[in-house]
Amino acid sequence: MRVAILESIVMPAGHEVEFDRILINELNRQGHEPVLFVPENFPFKVDYGVDIVYLEGGEVVTYAGASKWKKPFLSILRERRRRSWFTSAAQKIKEHKIDALIIPTGTYRYIKALLDTPLKDSEASVHVIFHGIGKGEMDRFIKQAHRANAYKNLYFDVISLRDDMLRPDLPRVRKILPPVFLPSSELSGEQQNITVQSAVSEQGLERVNSSESKTTNDAANQSVNKPIKLGFFGQFRKEKNIERFIDAFVSLNYDDSVQLVVQGATVKPEDGELFESIIKQYSKYSNIQFIHASLIGKDWDRALLSVDALLLPYGAERYRYHWAAMLFTAIGFQKPVLISPEINPEVLEQYSIGEVLNLDDVHSIGQGISQFVENLQHNKEKYKQGLIHANEDYSHRALIQSIVNV
Beta bridge partners of 258: 228
Domain span(s) for CATH 3.40.50.11930 in the chain: 2-176
Q: How many CB atoms lie within 10 A of CB 24?
A: 20
How far does CA 350 lie from the centroid of its chain?
19
Q: Which residues of 156-179 are buried (b: 16+ CB within 10 A; e: fewer)?
A: bbbbbbbeebeeeebebbbebebb
Domain 226-393 of CATH type 3.40.640.10: no
Cα separation of 95 and 112, whole Å?
25
Domain 2-176 of CATH type 3.40.50.970: no
Q: What is the pLDDT of residue 13?
A: 53
How far does CA 181 lie from the centroid of its chain?
6
pLDDT (tens digit, 0 to 9) for every residue of the chain, 406 residues total? 999 999 998 765 557 778 898 999 999 999 999 999 999 999 887 788 999 999 999 998 887 777 778 889 999 999 999 999 999 999 999 999 999 999 999 999 999 999 999 999 999 999 999 999 988 899 999 999 999 999 999 999 999 999 999 999 999 999 999 999 988 765 444 444 433 333 333 333 333 334 344 444 444 444 557 899 999 998 888 777 789 999 999 999 999 999 999 999 888 888 899 999 999 999 999 999 999 998 887 888 999 999 999 999 987 777 788 899 899 999 999 999 999 999 999 999 999 999 999 999 999 999 999 999 999 998 888 899 999 999 999 999 999 999 998 7
Domain span(s) for CATH 3.40.50.2000 in the chain: 226-393
Q: How many CB atoms lie within 10 A of CB 69?
A: 7
CB 182 within 8 A of CB 191: yes
Q: What is the pLDDT of residue 187?
A: 43
Pick from 182, 93, 108: nearest CA to 145: 108
Cα separation of 253 and 347, whole Å?
31
